[in-house]
Amino acid sequence: MIILFLASLGLHLFIHHPLLAEQDPVVKAGSQDIPWRIKADNIEVDKNQTALLATGQVSITKGNNTLNSDYAYYNWETREMYLRDNFDAEMDSVLLKAEQAQFDLKTEKGWIKQGNISLRDPQLILRGDKISKTGRQKYAFSNANITACDGDPPVWSIRSAQGNVPLNGYASLWHTKFLIKDYPVFYFPYLILPIKKEQQSGFLLPNLSSSSRDGIGITLPYYYMINSEQDMTLAANIINKRGTRLISEYRLVPDPESKGLFRFDWLKDRITADTETEEYEKFNNDGLIRDNSNRFWLRGKYNGFLGDTQWRTRLDLDMVSDQNYLREFDYGRYGYDSSQNDFLDEFGRDINDKDSILRENTWIIRKMISNNAEFESRVEYNQNSSTFNQNYSNDQDPTIQKFPELSLNVYKNKIQGTPFQWEAENDLTYYWRRSGNKGMKLNAYPSITLPLNCKHVSSILKAGWEEALYYNQDTGKKSAGEKEFITRGTASMHASLFSNMFNTFEIEPNTELLAQKKYSGNAAWTKIKHSIRPQVEYEYQSSEGNDVPEFALQDTRISKNKITYSLTNSFTRKKSTVVPQTEGQQDTGFKVDTEYRNFLLLDLEQSYHIKESHRDHQLSQYPRRRFSDIRARLIYDPASFINLETNTWFSPTIGELTEQENILNLNYRNRLAGYLGFDYQKGLDHYIHRKNQSKLSILRLGGEWDLNNQWTFRIDYSRDLDQSDLLERSLGIDYTHQCWGFDLELTQDSHETNISLNVNLSEIGEHF
């Protein structure tokens, strides 16, 4: 009677009925024992107490589940609640909105009509005439649309005649159409759509491309989630002039300190070149042919442990079917450029240049024996990519491999009772190759270091002796005159003397910098610190005993006897700014904030070759040139909107610049960025410090413009000014919408034009 009396007054109140809630204690949220509670402007119960009618701002709650409407009818016998008029709800973190709805409050099953459900992760909207809630986290529908877009009609949607949608699994959709606005574009008889919060398997969106050489291409990728530590992407790159390139990518992160990334391509190419004249124009002057149709590229890197955390291992793979594959397929998501950038970002290690014939593969195992001693095993295989076709056979391959190289390195140890430190590099290497002699090397390189410091000057003195013993394996292929055992001993010495000096200059600011409101925003440079570091280095390397075996020519030591002197000037400024001072969300006044920036660096360096002063051979070709080029490095970085870096080499002997590297970067409010670069090399044939240097003049420029939060434009251009050849130019456009986006890129060089298009639909085949 009390409930009926309060309800008749139209007050907000809670109703507890034995069929709605058997008890009313405080219980854990989400428990099945939590009662449903109803709150409304008006509540009426019939005389038989079998039904309840609530109107006017009805709110029905149980834990985190909430049902809202202007009309609700509840039957205690069937436990069903019918709602209409401004109905919306949140059930199991899913938002529902409809014209009318009905739910069994015991099983939480039911339906909504003329409404939609909104998933939060992934952010998808399901709209339909009738959507049924078939379980606690399961929905079914007929004639419904799925989209991630706002608006009516949405930019894109998937219309399905029938489907099931679990909140943590895969939605099954029958007779589906992909629509742009209201226009159907694709039809799928059956479609599986991932509906999961964590990563999961599924198809990714295709990539479209067009090449003047290869024709039209489409890449169809599938992502496979193996487990929480491993995943894989499988893709088919269909190229109408070349065939189908099959691509696989495998990633693993077994622990926080271990990770690996491996990729493999295979292509049955329709185009081959049995003679050099049939080669692609870009490659037909390299003296090599490419007659193989089976083409592949395996590359990968791994950092991690080998069984025990004390044993570290590192793997680098790079094997290719022929010398042209990387130069031809250098574009796209799985091309050379993308792979190189991914390896640099993930591992900080590069792969050989795409023009390089040799591909380096290494496997390294390391173990720290003590705090300053380490054991290392290294296997190195240098693949000669030109031997996989008929340029010459594998048996004629002279490429040298290391199978293996064992090293024991001792780092700096202090000699008791003295200021000296000692260290040693020791290695045992077996050199192997298919064609030519093979052999072994035992090498020891101990050295002693003496660091000295005083008030104004510091110095480091180091002296060492490297002794090597070579065994020239008797295979009948030794070069004439080569001995079976060869020894080599070389002495080395290095000394450096340097000092650090600085002075700080006060600057009178041209504005008031007091911690007061009226000076808020005032900023000025207040100090400049000038640091000078002069340094002199002496380096000596003897050349005795350089008659090493043919298989170890890379061990040849070039004699050195030179003095290098340098002067480094660096400038650091102190900037003071009056800014508001806050604690939490409260303003507590003003303060003077300080910021330091290294805004200018000028570095000069040159060497004097003592050995050149006494050289008496090849004087007709190379007159004595005791002084090396002067290298001048300048970095100017006064603010975030401008940065200039230039390196210049000037020869005092010939009185000309021999090389320059210049790059200017500009940035305006992180919206508009640009760069301008120029690289120069003087052609030199007979110059002792720069032998056989080709002439080079490369202009590079480009920029990026973030027009707004949706549109970004990119442009890059490079040209060989000496040959008047276009090296490459590209134009890129990125567009990001609330529920979709695309990036379009046009790339062109003097031989080929490529167009690539990637479309991203939010929450659908974007990130799994």
Instruction: Report pLDDT digits (tens) over 70-84.
Output: 999 998 888 899 999
Q: Is the dihedral of CA 679, 685, 686, 688 positive or negative?
A: positive
526-555 per-residue burial string, b: 16 or more CB within 10 A, e: under 16: bebeebeeebebbbbbbeeeeebbbbbeeb
d(C-alpha 462, C-alpha 423), whole Å: 10
d(C-alpha 342, C-alpha 321), whole Å: 21
Cβ 249 vs Cβ 225: under 8 Å: no
Region of 93 (left: φ > 0; alpha: ψ -120 to 50; beta: rest) is left
Summarize the confidence of residues 59-63 as an average pLDDT.
88
- Does residue 9 register a pLDDT over 80? no
What are the pLDDT digits (tens) for 130-183? Answer: 999 988 788 999 888 988 888 888 888 899 999 988 877 788 899 999 898 888
- Does residue 37 register a pLDDT over 80? yes
Mean pLDDT score of the chain: 86
Q: Which residue has the tokens 């600057």?
A: 507
Token representation of residue 657? 């610049």
Q: Pick one of 3.30.70.1880, 3.40.640.10, 2.60.450.10, 2.40.50.140 as the CATH number of 2-203.
A: 2.60.450.10
Q: Is 109 helix (H, G, I), strand (E, B) or coil?
A: coil
User: Whole-prediction pTM value?
Assistant: 0.78
d(C-alpha 744, C-alpha 756), whole Å: 6
d(C-alpha 290, C-alpha 419), whole Å: 61
Token representation of residue 409? 């390195």
What type of residue sits at position 747?
T
**Percent of all residues in the chain with a pLDDT value above 90, rounded to a whole number:** 50
**Percent of all residues in the chain with a pLDDT value above 70, rounded to a whole number:** 92
What are the pLDDT digits (tens) for 377-402? Answer: 999 999 998 887 777 777 788 899 99
Query: Is cis: bond before 153, omega within 30 of 0?
Result: yes
Per-domain residue ranges of the chain: 2-203
- Does residue 424 register a pLDDT over 70? yes
| Cβ neighbours for 252, distance < 8 A, ≥ 6 positions apart | 229, 230, 258, 259, 260
What are the pLDDT digits (tens) for 229-242? Answer: 999 999 999 999 99
d(C-alpha 37, C-alpha 706), whole Å: 51
Q: What is the pLDDT of residue 213?
A: 86
Q: What is the pLDDT of residue 625?
A: 83
The H-or-E segment that residue 340 falls in is: helix 336-347
Highest average pLDDT, of 273-282, 554-563, 593-602, comes from 593-602
What are the pLDDT digits (tens) for 98-135? Answer: 999 999 888 889 999 999 988 877 788 888 889 999 88
Instruction: Residue 165: name the closest of 188, 140, 196 by CA.
Output: 140
d(C-alpha 551, C-alpha 482), whole Å: 11
| Cβ neighbours for 256, distance < 8 A, ≥ 6 positions apart | none
Q: Using pLDDT thresholds of 50, 70 and 90, give the confidence band for residue 45.
A: confident
Token representation of residue 420? 């000296």
CA 126 to chain centre: 35
The H-or-E segment that residue 336 falls in is: helix 336-347
Highest average pLDDT, of 12-21, 23-32, 466-475, comes from 466-475
- Does residue 252 register a pLDDT over 50? yes
Which residue would you say has higher pLDDT here, 262 or 683?
262
What are the pLDDT digits (tens) for 443-456? Answer: 999 999 999 998 88
